[in-house]
C-alpha cells in the first residue's frame, strides 16, 4: 500500500524554481526535482486549497508553472475540524501566530490521516525542536501525527 503524502507549498515552489546562485536553494531544487522524478509514483499525493492559493501568488509565469505541477494531485478539504486543530496548534502548541498557514497545512495532513507531510519549511513544520511537542498535542486531540520531513529524508528502501 502506498504511503499518503501531503505536499506543502515549498515543495512545488522548489520543484519549479528558477535557477539561483544560492547554494542551499540550488541543492533543494535538485533534491526536490530528483525525488519528484524518481519517487513520485511511490506515493499517493495530496494538497489542499491553501497550497493552490499559495502556489498562485507572485509572478504570473512562475505561478502558472507551480499550478501546472499540481495538476492531477488530489485535493484535501479544509473542514471545520482542520480550522479547530490549526487554532489549537497555535494556542496550545509551539507554533506562533505568524505560522497560521503552516498550522493549517499540518492540520489538513493530520485530520485527513496522511502518513507524511513533505516540506522544506524547517522553521515552522520540519522543526526538530517542536516535533515531540506537536506530536503530543496531536495525540492528545485523538490524532495520529504525520511524519513531517523534507524530500532529502525520502531515501526509499
Query: What are the residue boundaries of the structural domains of the chain, listed by start?
Result: 3-153
Per-residue pLDDT of the chain (157 residues; tens, 9 = 90+): 999 999 999 999 999 998 899 999 999 999 999 999 999 999 999 999 999 999 999 999 999 999 999 999 999 999 999 999 999 999 999 999 999 999 999 999 999 999 999 999 999 999 999 999 999 999 999 999 999 999 999 877 5
Instruction: Give the position of cell 533543494.
Output: 28
Instruction: Give the position of cell 515552489.
Output: 13
Q: Is 144 exposed, middle or buried (0-12, 13-18, 19+ CB in 10 A)?
A: exposed
Say which CATH architecture domain 3-153 belongs to. 3-Layer(aba) Sandwich (3.40)
Q: How far is 6 from 153, CA to CA, in rounded Å? A: 15
Answer for the pair 134, 102: CB distance below 8 angstroms, yes or no: no
Q: What is the reported pLDDT for 157?
A: 56
Amino acid at each position: 500500500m502506498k504511503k499518503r503524502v501531503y505536499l506543502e507549498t515549498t515543495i512545488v515552489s522548489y520543484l519549479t524554481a528558477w535557477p539561483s546562485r544560492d547554494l542551499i536553494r540550488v541543492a533543494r531544487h535538485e533534491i526536490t526535482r530528483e525525488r519528484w522524478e524518481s519517487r513520485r509514483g511511490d506515493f499517493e499525493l495530496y494538497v489542499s486549497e491553501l497550497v493552490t492559493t499559495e502556489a498562485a501568488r507572485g509572478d504570473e509565469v512562475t505561478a502558472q508553472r507551480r499550478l501546472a505541477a499540481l495538476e492531477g494531485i488530489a485535493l484535501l478539504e479544509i473542514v471545520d475540524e482542520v480550522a479547530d486543530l490549526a487554532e489549537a496548534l497555535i494556542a496550545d502548541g509551539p507554533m506562533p501566530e505568524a505560522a497560521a498557514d503552516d498550522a493549517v497545512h499540518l492540520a489538513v495532513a493530520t485530520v485527513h490521516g496522511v502518513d507524511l507531510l513533505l516540506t522544506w519549511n524547517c522553521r515552522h513544520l520540519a522543526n526538530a525542536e517542536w516535533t515531540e511537542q506537536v506530536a503530543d498535542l496531536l495525540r492528545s486531540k485523538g490524532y495520529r501525527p504525520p511524519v513531517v520531513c523534507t524530500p532529502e529524508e525520502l531515501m526509499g528502501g
